[in-house]
Chains A and B, each alone.
Chain A
Amino acid sequence: MEYPDPNYTRIKGWGVDADPKNDPTYPMKKYTGDDHRRLDYRRPPQQVAEVEVLHSNERPGLSAVFGTRQPPSGLSGQLRRFAFRYSENSFAHWLPLLLADRVNVAEGILDDFRNGIIPNIMREKGMGAEWKYNRKKLIKKAVITLAVSLALLSFLRKDRR
C-alpha cells in the first residue's frame, strides 16, 4: 500500500505500536470473565466512615475507600442528601447537587468571616495574573464597569429627585 506522504515515516517512533489486527477496535481490556461474578469478589478491607459519606443508590453501600473531606453540612448538605435519594439516571439527582454547590459558595464566604478571614475575592480570581499578562483588557473592563456604574447611579439619583 502507498501512503499519502512518505515523509511522516521519518517521524521518530512512527508505526512502532501499529497493529494490523487493530480493526475495528483495539484490545482495551484484558478480558477475564470476572464480570459475570458481579460483585462476588474478595473486597479490600472497608474504610471506616467517621464522617457522613453519601453514596449513590445504584450501589449497595460505600466503596472500600473514599474521601472524607468536606462532609455534607448546612443547607447545601440538606440539598445533597436530597439529591442522593435519586439515582444517577435522574435530573433530580444532578440539579440539586448543582444548586447545592452554589449555596455552598455563600456558605463558604460566611465560614470565612466566622473564621476571621476576609476573602480577597479579586486575588482568588487570579487578578494578579490578569494584571501581569492582560493589563490593557483589565483596565478597559474596569473603566467600562465604573462608567456604567456611575451612569446608573446618576440616573437613579435624577429619578429620585
Chain B
Amino acid sequence: MLAMNYRGPFRVRADYYKPDPEIEHPGDAIVRVTRSCICGSDLHLYHGLVPDTRVGTTFGHEFTGVVVETGASVEKLKVGDQVLVPFNVACGVCPLCKQELYGNCHEANPGATAVGGAFGYSHLAGGYDGGQAEYVRVPYADVGPTIIPGDIHPDDAVLLTDVVPTGYQAAEMGGIRKGDTVVVFGAGPVGIMAAKCAWLFGAGRVIVIDHLEYRLEFVRNYAQCEAYDFRSLGDPVLFLKKTTDYYGADVCIDAVGCEAAGSFLQTFTGRKGMLQGGSATALYWAINSVKKGGIVSVVSVYGPTGNFIPIGNVVNKGITLRANQASVKRLLPKMIEHLRSGYIDPKAIITHRVPLEEVADAYHLFSAKLDNCIKTVLIPPSAGA
C-alpha cells in the first residue's frame, strides 16, 4: 500500500511497498483511510526530537476512514462504516479508561508508562503505524472509533480526532470563569481552537501570542480575539502584566510545546542541543504571565527528559498546573453537539489539501510555514472522496 515513510529528521517520503496492515488482535479493525492530517506534534517527530522514532514508521494520528475488516471480538463496527478515529489508543477497561482518561490508557503502550498509546507517534507511544497511509490497523476498535454522523462534514470529522478536542480541553483545564482573561500561547491549529473554545467557557478577554503574522491575522478573525506578535512586544510577560493592570492573566494556555521560538537560551538548549526535552519558552512565559493563584493549562508536547521552567514561581505564585493529552472519546459527544450548534467551525482552519503521494512537500510546507499554511489534509488515492 501507499504510506508515508519516515527516513530521518526532515526526511519523509511516500512509498508504495509498505505491507498492508493485518488484524493482530481480536479487537482490531482495519480502516481504509479517507483523510489524514499533519498535526503540529507530527513536526516534533519530523524534526527528530522524539526518542525512539524508528526509520520506516508511518506517522498520522488524525484520520478518518472506512472499516474494511474487523477482528473476531469487534461488535460495534461493521465493514463499510465510516469512522473517525481518536488519536488515543485506549482499551476502555483499565482504571484510567474507566475514569475517562483515555489519553492515559495503561494497556496501549508497552514502551513508556508515562505516555498513553497513540497512532503513528513513534515507539514512545506504542509503536503503532499511523493514518498517513491507505490503510491502518486500529486496535480496540470497539472503544475509540466513532461512526461519523451523516450530518457531519468529512473535513470536520477528521479535525474531531485531535485538534478540536485538544483545543477544547486546553480551555476546559484552564478552569475559566466568566469574565476571565485567557492568554493562549501559540496560534497553531490547537492554539486557534483553544482561543475559540475559551469563549464557550465565558472568557471575558482572549489574547493570543505568536510570531507568525499570517496566523495572528487568522486567529483574530476566526476566534474574535486579540493577537500579538511577541517580537513586537519586547518582553511579552511584561506586556501581559501591563495589559492586565499589573495583575496577570487569570488563565494561561501553552499550545506551543517543545519547538517554541522566542528565547535563544531555550532554543539552543532545547531544540539544537537537545539538553532538555525541547524549548519550553511558551510554558516559561505562561507561568510568569499568569496571576497569583491562576491556572496554567498545558496540552502541548514536550520530550520526556525534562525542561527548564520556573518551578519556583509556580510555588510562590500558587499556580495550578493542569496538563494532559486530550481525552478525545470523552469529549466527542460535546464536540459534535457544538459543531451542530455552530459554535465551532473546524474545517475553516484547513488551508491545504495534498495528495498523499506528495507527503514530503506537505511536511516541508507545514514545517517551514510556507504559503500561509495552518492545517494540511492528506488525501490517499484510494480515499474515493
Residues on A facing B (Cβ under 8 Å): 1, 3-5, 8, 11-20, 22-26, 28-32, 34-35, 37-39, 41-45, 47-48, 53-56, 58-59, 61-70, 76, 80, 88, 91, 94, 97-98, 100-102, 104-105, 107-109, 111, 119-121, 123-130, 132-134
Q: Is the CB of B172 within 8 A of A125?
A: no
Can you name 19 A-B pairs with beta carbons within 8 Å? Answer: A3-B204, A14-B199, A18-B178, A25-B320, A28-B101, A30-B99, A31-B99, A32-B95, A32-B98, A39-B106, A47-B139, A55-B110, A65-B126, A66-B111, A67-B123, A68-B24, A69-B128, A129-B368, A130-B368
A35 contacts across to B, CB distance below 8 A: 95, 99
Question: How near does chain B come to A123, taking the closest CB pair, in angstroms?
Answer: 6
A98 contacts across to B, CB distance below 8 A: 51, 274
Question: How near does chain A come to B60, taking the closest CB pair, in angstroms?
Answer: 13
Would you call B347 an interface residue if the criterion is a C-beta within 8 Å of the partner chain's C-beta atoms? no
A-B contact count (CB 8 A): 265
A55-B111, A123-B13 given; A63·B106 CB < 8 A: yes
List of 9 A-B pairs having minimum Cβ-Cβ separation, nearest first: A126-B364, A67-B127, A13-B343, A18-B202, A105-B8, A34-B95, A108-B55, A67-B128, A55-B110
Would you call B348 an interface residue if the criterion is a C-beta within 8 Å of the partner chain's C-beta atoms? no
A34 contacts across to B, CB distance below 8 A: 95, 98-99
A14-B200, A14-B202 given; A63·B110 CB < 8 A: yes
A25 contacts across to B, CB distance below 8 A: 173, 175, 295, 320, 322
- Cα-based distance from A58 to B115 in the complex (angstroms): 12
Q: Is the CB of A3 within 8 A of B99?
A: no
Q: Is the CB of B95 within 8 A of A126?
A: no
| B275-317 near A? 1/0 per residue, CB < 8 Å | 0000000000000000001010000000111000000000000
Q: Is the CB of B204 within 8 A of A129?
A: no
Would you call B41 an interface residue if the criterion is a C-beta within 8 Å of the partner chain's C-beta atoms? no
A26-B173, A129-B364 given; A67·B126 CB < 8 A: yes
Q: Is the CB of B12 within 8 A of A124?
A: yes
- Given A28-B322, A56-B112, A120-B13, output 9 extra A-B contacts at Cβ < 8 Å: A8-B199, A14-B200, A16-B200, A29-B100, A43-B91, A44-B91, A45-B25, A53-B127, A54-B110
Question: How near does chain B come to A113, taking the closest CB pair, in angstroms?
Answer: 13
| B57-68 near A? 1/0 per residue, CB < 8 Å | 110000000000
B123 contacts across to A, CB distance below 8 A: 54, 67, 70
Task: For A70, give its contact among B55, B172, B303 (CB under 8 Å).
Answer: B55
A5-B205, A65-B27, A67-B123 given; A13·B199 CB < 8 A: yes
B304 contacts across to A, CB distance below 8 A: 88, 94
A65 contacts across to B, CB distance below 8 A: 24-25, 27-28, 89, 91, 107-108, 117, 126, 139-140
Q: Is the CB of A125 within 8 A of B126?
A: no
A129 contacts across to B, CB distance below 8 A: 361-362, 364-365, 368, 370-371
Q: Is the CB of A128 within 8 A of B57?
A: no
- Cα-based distance from A109 to B8 in the complex (angstroms): 9
- Cα-based distance from A133 to B109 in the complex (angstroms): 39
Which of A12, A37, A126 has the most chain B CB within a 10 Å cutoff? A126
